[in-house]
Structures are given as structure tokens and as C-alpha cells.
Amino acid sequence: MNHSRPKHTPLEKLSSHVRSRLMLSAMLSILGVASIFGLLVIGGSYFMLRNNEQQRLYQGLEELISAVEGTAKVAAFADDATLAKEVATGLFSNPAVARVVITANTKTLVDLDRPNAHLNAQASQPLSREIKSPFNSKEIIGVLKLYPADEHVRQAATDSAQLLALLLSLELLGVACAVSWVVFAKVTRPIGSVAHDLHALKFTAGDMIWPPRGNEKDEIGQLVGDVNMMVARMQSLLLSERDLRDAIENSEEKFRLIFENAEAGIFTLDKTGRLHSWNPAMARLLGAEHFSAESNPALAQILACPQEKLIALIEQSSQNAESVWADFARGDIENNSEHFHIVLNPAGIGMLQGVCNDITERKRNEIRIRNLAERDALTGLLNRRGFEFRANDILSHAGPASGLTLIAIDLDGFKAVNDTLGHEAGDHVLSEVAKILEQSVRKSDLIARMGGDEFVILLINQASAETARGVARKILEALKTPILVSPDSPTHVGASIGLALWQPPSEALDTLLRRADQAMYAVKHASKNGFLLAASSDTI
Amino acid sequence: MLSLSQLLRIGRRITLALSLAMLCSVVAAEELVVIVNPGSGVEKLSRDEVINIFLGRYKQFPSGLAAQALDTDPLKARFYAELVNKPLADINAYWARLKFSGQTRPPIQAEHTEAALSFVSTQTSGIAYIERSKANKQVRIVFTLSPP
């Protein structure tokens, strides 16, 4: 923090003064005004002075005449040329006198020119004085004519006027210099130093300008004080602005962290389904390759879903001003399909804000759990629960022409295999049987392992009993092939199969199952390794 | 019986005589007169002429005859006082100027009245001043000075 008065070197001071245009212009202005004023005043007064001086000199001559008047009277009265000449000579002691003529009673007593006078001392108008009788003031006895040396008078007046003009000029110059100095010392220098300091101000904390010495209490000091106050205020404003900026940056950083690091994809969308902004999670979830090329990628395209589905969702959100969601699947249904959960909210005019979550795992879990619930772990076939669930569903939607046939299968000789070759061998046999069954029917038919070595098949859309018998035969035929439990122990199992045709319109599943079971038991207790179709009218 | 106007006239005359007598008693001395030689041909002189002659302006009588003035010491101050109403100092200063640098000469200076008489009676150019009572037949009175 700079709290000490900055020291300027003398050279710095001098150079800054020379460069100070204010000072120079002020001084030039003062000198200019003084010059103009001086020229006008002195110029005007010069002539006035000269004329005054001339008048004064002529007046002086009049007084001179008065001085010699007494003697002139005597000389004129006595008609004395010698005395008259003495008077004239005396008058010549004044250099302004060029010629003296004294006449007494029309007789010229004396007519003298100044000795060594300039030749062109011809006067236009002589000063004339009537000489009165010394003994009778009413009687005029002569005339004294004094011819002034106009040249001399003019010169003397000019000299005098010039001297005065010079003095005035010097005085004016002195005053101008004094005023310049005072203006410099009192105004321009302090202002200049203040301006210089202000220019060099760095606006760092605590930086301030100093009032020039001697100006602390006057307007300049006040200006400096106000400037410092302004600077301090500006600095505090800058500081608070910086703090504000920092706070904003922190806040933005927080949101950015959330936005950038969110696990879920966050995005904004326009009404045509084009993405306007998205966080890195979006690219990670949906594949970065979709987001590199275009500035506004189409979401439907990324999700590989029909545009209409997305638009419908957008419309629903916008029109109802509510949050909507939908699940989107991408890829093959069978292998590696991805599932995304999209939530859309209206956000501003023409825009929506959305969240995208990858629910593939969840979906897989759902499937897995359902599978766990619905499928037999060993064979992958439906288990009892799964079969009943699905079969009930089919039966509830089935019509008279649905052609549903239930096949109940019980393996023959399986227990023996389990006991003799072990559970692992038994499991393997079951797996193989499951495969055989799957191969024997279509994909749309239901196959289930009901428990132990019991299997059921529900044929769907197969018209007749004959078809069912055909399937049973195929199965029995396939089971003839021994199953290799281990490389060197072929095993062989048979099957007792019961068939039951579903009785429309609304035969219940357990009734159907029972009928098929009964047919199967009939085979088991009889010959084994065969099949029997349950009679349609059989009831329990 | 005298009338009022007659009475006034008489009164006026008496006043005049008394005042004259008083004046005369105040002025102890007699009138001064200017005298010239009878042979000069000058009968009368005006005041100005007297002034001009005694103060050196004129060196001749109006007739052209040369004139030589004479001052009488005891009467000098009174003469000039009555002639030009100037103190003697001024007259002396006047002559001092002319004596020093000019060519005009002041009147001859005499100590007694008798000198004036004898001068004028013997010189045709002479002109002087005396008390009236002193004047004799050898001189002619050409001007009378009246007191100021």
C-alpha cells in the first residue's frame, strides 16, 4: 500500500512542467493579454503623453516669459537694446527657445536667433507677450515674441513620452511576469501536479493522490480529497464486484459441477426435438459420437425411436405444462438393447428441459428378477409361476379358434438316473430334455418345467388334436437318442405325455392342467413312454 | 432769509474748504513741482512725459531739445511715490538693471534743493523737482505733482 508522499526528482518536475500545456498556455495567455492591453494603453497614452509634454513645455515657456517680464518691461520702457539683448540671451538658456524678438514702440529692440540653433527651427506660432509700462500698467509699450524651438519641444516631448512608455511597458511586463508566476505557483503547478499524480494512479488498494503543498485547505485540496474519495469508492466497488464475481463463479461452479458431473443426462430441447444443450453424462449415456458433428442433434435420432413418439411426448408436456416421462429402447430387443428413461419439463418459451437416465441395467434386472421369479434356473424354461402367469394371460384373451393344447410331460426313469449317476448328471439330463422340448415346438409356444421332472407345453394357435399328437410323437422320438451325461455314460429317459385340448370359451387353466395330468398319469400307470389325449368331456 | 438750497450750497462749500484745510494740515509739506529752464521752450509737460524723462525713456523734451533729469535726495522718495506710486527701492532696482546692462543713465543725483535750482536755471536741458515755495523766477514750473 502506498501511503508515503511520492518523491519527484527535480528533473522529473522540470520535464513535467515543460510538458505542461496548461502552464504554457496560461502564461502565453497572460503575456498575450498584457501585450495587447499594453499596446493599446501605452500606444494610446504615448500620444497623449507627448501632447501633454508639449503643452507643458510650451506652458513652461510662458512661465519663462513671465520670469523675464519685469526686466523686459524695463528694457522696453527705457528703449534699452542692451538690456533687451540680455533678456533674450537669458531666455536662450532654455533650449526650447529658438528666437526672441522684443519690440518697443514698433521699434525692434532685439531679434536674436539661438546660437548654434538648427536651421529648421522655424516656428509656426510664436508666444507673444505684451510688455506693459512698469509705471503704468494700462499702457502697452512693446511686445516680446518668443519663438519656441518646435523641433526641440517635439523631441523633448517624444523623449519624455518614450521614457514613460518604456517605464509603463516594463511595469506591465513585470506585472505580467508576476501574475504569470502567481498563476503558475498558485494554480497551474498544483493542478498540474494533481493531474500528473492522477494520471499515474494505479488504483491498487490504498493508492491515493496527495494535495500539493500549501493547497491542502483550498479548492485544490478539496478536489484532491474528493478524487481520493472517488478512487477509494471505486476500489471498494471493484473489490465488491470481484467478490461478487467470485461468488457468481463459485455458484456457477457449483451448478456446473452438478451439471457436468451428474450421473443422469441433463439437457434442453426445443419443440422440434432438437437438443440445445446437454451435459457430459448425456454423451456418455447415449454415445459421444452422436454429439460431435451437429450443433443441435435430433434426440429421436439418437434414441433410434420414431420422431412421432418424441414429438407426442413434447406436446403432452408443453400443452399440459407438466412433467412427462417415457422409456425408450435402443438396439435389438434380444441382445444388448439399451433402455433410457426420459423426463421432460416445460422450460421457458419454446423450450423443454429434460433428464435422461440409463435404465438398461434396471431393465435387465427387472428381466432377471422376473426370470428368477418366472423361470427355472436350471433349464431356462418357465417355471410353474411363470407358466401360470403367461398361460392365464393367453387363456383370458383366447377365443374359440385359438387352438390351445396343453401337453403334460413326465420323464420316465429319471429318478434312477439321479440316484445312480448323481444330481449333476440328473441336472444335465433335465437340461437336455429342455432343449429337446424347445426344439419340438415353436417359439411362441409356452414350455415350462413344472417341477422335478415334470414339463408342460402350451401349444398356441394349433388347430387340432392331430397336431398335438404329432408334437408328442416328435418328443418321444427325440428322447430315444441317449443323452450323454459324461463322455462314456449314455443315459436314456422316456416320457409319459398327456394331451388336453382347451375347451373354449373359458376353460380354466387348472382344469386344463388336471385333464392333461390325468391323461399323463394314465400313460404312466399303463405302458409308460407314450401319450394319451384327454377326452374333451372329462371332468373332475 | 436763506432758502434750503442756498443753505445746502453754503454748507457744501464750507465742508470742502475745511477738508482741504485738513488735508493741507495732514500733509505737512508743500506740493512738489517739476521745473525746467525757461529757455528750454517747454511750457507744460504731461505726467507721462515727466515719467518718461525722469525714468530714462525719453532723453529729449517733446520739442526735441535734450533733457537731463536731476534727482534731489530729500525729495526723491516723495517725488517718485507721487509720480508713479512706486517705492524708492523699485526705482533704484529699475536703475540698477539699466545701469548694469543698459546704456540708459539715471538722473543726476543732487543733495540739496539749491543744487536743483541752480542746475535747472543754468542748464537749458535741465529738469528737476522742488517744493513749490522754493521755485524762483529763474525756473519755469511745467508740472505739479498731486499727492496720491
Q: Tell me whether residues A86 and B94 touch, CB distance under 8 A.
A: no
Model confidence pLDDT, tens digit, residues A151-191: 888 888 889 888 988 998 898 889 988 988 888 888 888 88
How far CA A94 is from CA of A63, A147, A207, A362, in Å, comes to: 11, 12, 78, 138
Which member of A81, A134, A136 has the closest CB to residue B94?
A: A134
Which member of A78, A135, A136 has the closest CB to residue B98?
A: A78
Report how far residue A392's alpha carbon sits from residue A402's, in angstroms, rounded to the nearest whole number: 14
Task: Return the HEC string of A4-27.
Answer: CCCCCCHHHHHHHHHHCHHHHHHH
**Band of the pLDDT at A292, cuts 50, 70, 90?**
confident
Asked whether the predicted pLDDT for residue A45 surpasses 90, the reply is no
Asked whether the predicted pLDDT for residue A66 surpasses 90, the reply is yes
**Band of the pLDDT at A7, cuts 50, 70, 90?**
low
Q: Tell me whether residues B98 and A80 touch, CB distance under 8 A.
A: yes
Query: Which is it for the CA torsion A69, A73, A79, A82, positive or negative?
Result: negative
Residues 128-167 of A with CB under 8 A from B: 134-136, 139
Model confidence pLDDT, tens digit, residues B91-102: 999 998 888 876
A&B contacts, CB < 8 Å:
42
pTM score of the predicted model? 0.46
What is this model's ipTM? 0.73
| A86 in B contact zone (CB under 8 Å) | yes
pLDDT of residue A26: 81
Which member of B84, B97, B103 has the closest CB to residue A71?
A: B97
Helix (H/G/I), strand (E/B), else coil: A528: coil
Q: Tell me whether residues B104 and A136 touch, CB distance under 8 A.
A: no
B47–chain A nearest CA distance, Å: 11
Asked whether the predicted pLDDT for residue A315 surpasses 60, the reply is yes
The position carrying cell 515727466 is B50
Q: Which residues does chain A have within 8 Å of residue B102's beta carbon, measured at their own beta carbons?
A: 74-75, 78, 80, 82-83
Using CA coordinates, name the residue in chain A closest to B81: A135
**Band of the pLDDT at B20, cuts 50, 70, 90?**
low
- How many CB atoms neighbour CB A232 within 10 A? 14
Q: In the sheet where A127-133 sits, what is the strand order?
A: A107-113, A97-104, A136-148, A127-133
How far CA A514 is from CA of A302, A519, A521, A539, in Å, comes to: 51, 9, 10, 9
The position carrying cell 454429439 is A291
Report phi then psi at A268, rounded to 5.
-120, 150
Q: Percent of chain B scored above 90 by pLDDT?
A: 40
**Band of the pLDDT at A2, cuts 50, 70, 90?**
very low
Model confidence pLDDT, tens digit, residues B24-80: 554 556 889 999 999 888 899 999 899 999 998 888 998 889 999 999 988 999 999
Model confidence pLDDT, tens digit, residues A240-291: 889 999 999 998 888 888 888 888 999 999 999 899 989 888 888 888 888 8
- How many CB atoms neighbour CB B96 within 10 A? 13
Which member of A83, A135, A136 has the closest CB to residue B101?
A: A83
Q: Tell me whether residues B98 and A135 touch, CB distance under 8 A.
A: no
C-alpha cell at B12: 457744501
Chain B: which residues have CB within 8 Å of chain A? 48, 51, 55-57, 83-84, 86, 94, 97-98, 101-104
State the average pLDDT over residues A422-450.
88
Tell how strand A531-533 and strand A494-501 pair up: parallel
Q: Tell me whether residues B103 and A134 touch, CB distance under 8 A.
A: no
Average pLDDT for chain A: 85
**Band of the pLDDT at A15, cuts 50, 70, 90?**
low
Q: Which amino acid is present at B128?
A: A
Q: Tell me whether residues A82 and B103 touch, CB distance under 8 A.
A: yes
Report how far residue B64's alpha carbon sits from residue A352's, in angstroms, rounded to the nearest whole number: 155
Report how far residue B123's alpha carbon sits from residue B112's, in angstroms, rounded to the nearest whole number: 17
Which member of A82, A134, A139 has the closest CB to residue B102?
A: A82
**Band of the pLDDT at A425, cuts 50, 70, 90?**
confident
A43–chain B nearest CA distance, Å: 50
Q: Which residues does chain B have within 8 Å of residue A74's beta carbon, measured at their own beta carbons?
A: 94, 97-98, 102
Q: Which has the higher per-residue pLDDT, B81 or A3? A: B81
Asked whether the predicted pLDDT for residue A461 surpasses 90, the reply is no
A47–chain B nearest CA distance, Å: 43
Asked whether the predicted pLDDT for residue A216 surpasses 70, the reply is yes
